[in-house]
Amino acid sequence: MTAADGTAVILVIAVTIYACTGLADYGAGLWDLLAGGRARGSRPRALIDTALTPIWEANHVWLVFLLVTCWTGFGLAFGSLMSTLFIPLSLAALGIVLRGANFALRKDAARAGARHLSGWLFGIGSLLTPFCLGAALGGVMTARVPSEGVGDQLTSWLNPTSIAVGLLALAMGAFLSASYLVLEAHRRDLVALRHYFRVRAGAAGAAGLVLGVAALVALRADEREMFDRVMDRSWPLVVVGVFGLAATFLLAGRGAARGTRITAAAGVAALVWTWGVAQYPYLLPFQLTIEDGAGAEVTQRWLLAWFVVALLVIGPALLLLYALDQRGALGEDDG
């Protein structure tokens, strides 16, 4: 394996970690949006607030890391991605800003109407970002991003595969979030909310399964070579992903906190690596390989070294944050 291959693996690892942590955050925003009116939705929204507040900003660390590593290590591919997929990536960034600003503002707004409006904007941002990131990934998988020049800025992400992958990202986030909220309700002995989110986890899981099949069908029609690679190389990962997420639903219903998070992470990771393994050794299928698109050798080595430093510095801090959150040690004071 070359240094450039190692950097490419790091990129897929960053995507995996961001998917495992960030998708659940976006899913929580979806359930917040769909919780209903102020009175009917107050209890699920309160649980979502309690679960999300301590950790929601931390998950974007991996998105920043992903962007920095990509433009430093693979500048040519980064430029092509940003030029062709400018619209969905800009909308994804807008969604992140809407989420962040309104999640913070809705707690401090003096009027109930302003708090409700902020909640809506928070929910809309939670829909916009995962869909657009998924649609951008669909554009890459269907070879609509050229290695030179600028691809079509509309059809590159508004095509059947991109729409299916974008909706699949939404469904996965909704499923993960609802499963985690079942655990939160179980931990707080909130029986009604436990049933409330278990029903939604089942619905989101079923939707995700249908959308996964739809994404494969669309991919077969859009880009046959990539579809064949998924079927030939990555089918074991697809199986692991489906079984992992099914196990997550069953364990969440039993209130098994530790096992649920492990199976959820394994399921999401397997699905992300389904794409990574199928696309290797291309940065941009099927035009630009990792070797041809990599920057200088010394740059790749420094990126590998800084990845180790980042793991040693950021990893323990994030693990401590998640551990304290699970122990309920990060809530706001009542007084």
CATH number assigned to the domain comprising residue 255:
1.20.1630
Q: Which residues have C-beta within 8 Å of that of residue 140, sequence separation ≥ 6? A: 81, 85, 279, 284, 285
* Listed range (116-130, 154-168, 267-281) with the worst mean pLDDT: 116-130
Closest CA to 222 of 283, 165, 170: 165
Burial class of 269 by CB neighbour count within 10 A (0 to 12, 13 to 18, 19+): buried
Per residue in 201-215, pLDDT (tens digit) is 889 988 999 999 999
pLDDT at 335 exceeding the cut of 50: no
In a domain, 298, yes or no: no
pLDDT at 246 exceeding the cut of 70: yes
In a domain, 326, yes or no: no
Total count of domains within the chain: 1
In a domain, 260, yes or no: yes
Q: What is the pLDDT of residue 291?
A: 94
In a domain, 331, yes or no: no
Threshold 0.75, pTM exceeds = yes
Q: What is the pLDDT of residue 117?
A: 82
Q: What is the pLDDT of residue 334?
A: 53
Determine the average pLDDT of the residues in 169-184. 90
- 44: preceding bond cis by omega (within 30 degrees): no
Distances (CA, A) of 143 to 78, 235, 285: 15, 20, 5
DSSP-derived secondary structure letter, 168: H
Which domain does 252 fall in, by range? 3-292
In a domain, 332, yes or no: no
* Listed range (138-142, 155-159, 260-264) with the worst mean pLDDT: 260-264
pLDDT at 296 exceeding the cut of 80: yes
Determine the average pLDDT of the residues in 274-302. 94
In a domain, 325, yes or no: no
Q: What is the pLDDT of residue 41?
A: 86
